[in-house]
Amino acid sequence: MNGDSRRLLSVIGICAKAGKLICGTDRICEELRTAKCPPLAVIEASGNSANTTKRLSDRCAYYGIKHYVIEADALSLGYAVGKKKPIAAVGITDTGLLDAVLRKLPADNGNIQ
């Protein structure tokens, strides 16, 4: 993992500490469906199954949510948000923190949508 990925994961960790993060594919899909506190963007770990990636990309496209895949595996993403297990994806619910995360994304990492 390069330095850019580490910096990105640290900003995602700040989002988790601020309580502005939804962790896990199932919770993200549920929040999108119920619209209680929907994510503004979904950040997905690399190396997920094709089913997980399709599920997230389809839901994000349907609800008009930005969807990004980062160069970090699910275990690294899980550790960044304070979990001891792999996390396939996280949803960011705060606009200010989303801006900070988007600034740390590599320029070639476009929106999947």
pLDDT computed for residue 112 by the predictor: 52
Would you say 88 and 57 are in contact if contact means Cβ atoms under 8 Å apart?
no
CB 46: neighbour CB atoms within 10 A? Answer: 14
Q: How confident is the model at residue 24 (pLDDT cuts 50, 70, 90)?
A: very high
pLDDT computed for residue 113 by the predictor: 45
pLDDT computed for residue 110 by the predictor: 53
pLDDT, tens digit (0-9, with 9 covering 90-100), for 26-85: 999 999 999 888 899 999 999 999 999 999 999 999 999 999 999 999 999 999 999 999
pTM of the model: 0.89
Query: What domains appear along the chain, each with residue ranges and CATH number?
Result: 3-104 (3.30.1330.30)
Sign of CA dihedral 88, 54, 40, 72: positive
